[in-house]
Amino acid sequence: MTSRTKPANLIYDVDESPKIGALVLLGFQHIFLLAIAFVFPVLIIDSIGGSENDARHLISMAMLVTGIATILQGLNKGPVGSGYLCPLLNGPAFLSASIMAGKAGGLPLSFGMTFVAGLFEAFFSRVAVRMRAFFPAEVTGTIVTMVGIEVIPFSMKKFVGIDAAHLTPDPTESAVALVTIAAMIGLTVWGKGKIRLFSVLIGMLIGLWDLGAILLIFTLNATMNLFGIMMELHNQRTNRTDWTAFIYGCIAGIVPWIVITLYFVGAVNSGDAKPPAFVYAIVPILFVFFNIFAINMVLQYKKVGRWADYLFGERVYIVLSLAAKTVLAWLIFTGTLAPI
């Protein structure tokens, strides 16, 4: 019996378990993907001229069916399920057909078409294994590409910010959309190692443009600090420094700065009111202080020079924290609160 060799393009093999930090981030990423997929019911209702109540009803039905299908997929009893936890989501494969059915007979016809298509897929799954030779990667890849192209006519308007209230493309929304998709594609194609796992999550965080972005920036910064604590806990009883928590903390820490930079550049280039002068100083100064914390941790664990004494690195943390907050307070005071 020959041992199985893991393919070179796989990060985790079928019997490998990612570390808890990777699992948490991948869990968030999958939740975001599930949420994004509910745009397809909205596109269907919008295309057939349905009401807001219709959209809520269809999204509710999609959530319910997705949950039931995920449970059935996880079973391994006879012909039902695969035995693997494979959370399902709404896909674009039946988007055009659903819209055509909706225009012809409303939502009842769309439901009926989906039910019949599901029965056919269930039957086809029984014989698909025997027909695998007829579906090589070239064929399945072409089909997946065609499904993606099919969504373009429906999604391009949203991509550039066109809706009922805005009849022309919005430059800001277009730029955010381009940066988001470029980040996802770039990290997927050219990303190295485990960072490719989080390409969708990083791209989505880059593309956030509302209050939710601020909340997520706060959460990511808190997560970065938690990874710092995890770094210390992991390395208390190890002979060789484990940098896993540090790497994940850097990922969590750099994303908020990408978002902040996008906001700042967008404000500077907008035709509206420009940021006040003190903001131009706050962004680079805090960025420098922010990254010195990471540099201090590297020097501390590599025991470079005076950092060979662990307590020296802890004292540097205290000084950095005090200095960063003091500088921020004075910049804000002189910029906004100083008496006129």
pLDDT digits (tens, 9 = 90+) for 295-310: 888 888 888 888 888 8
Instruction: Check whether 340 has a pLDDT greater than 50.
Output: no
Sort 250 into a burial class: Cβ within 10 Å, 0-12 / 13-18 / 19+. Answer: middle
pLDDT digits (tens, 9 = 90+) for 129-155: 787 778 787 888 888 788 777 777 767
Sort 135 into a burial class: Cβ within 10 Å, 0-12 / 13-18 / 19+. Answer: exposed
**Spatial contact of 138 and 85, defined as CB atoms under 8 Å apart:** no
pLDDT digits (tens, 9 = 90+) for 207-254: 665 556 667 777 877 888 888 888 888 788 778 888 888 888 888 888
What pTM, to 2 d.p., does this model score?
A: 0.48
* Res. 1 pLDDT band, cuts 50 70 90: very low
Per-domain boundaries in the chain: 19-156
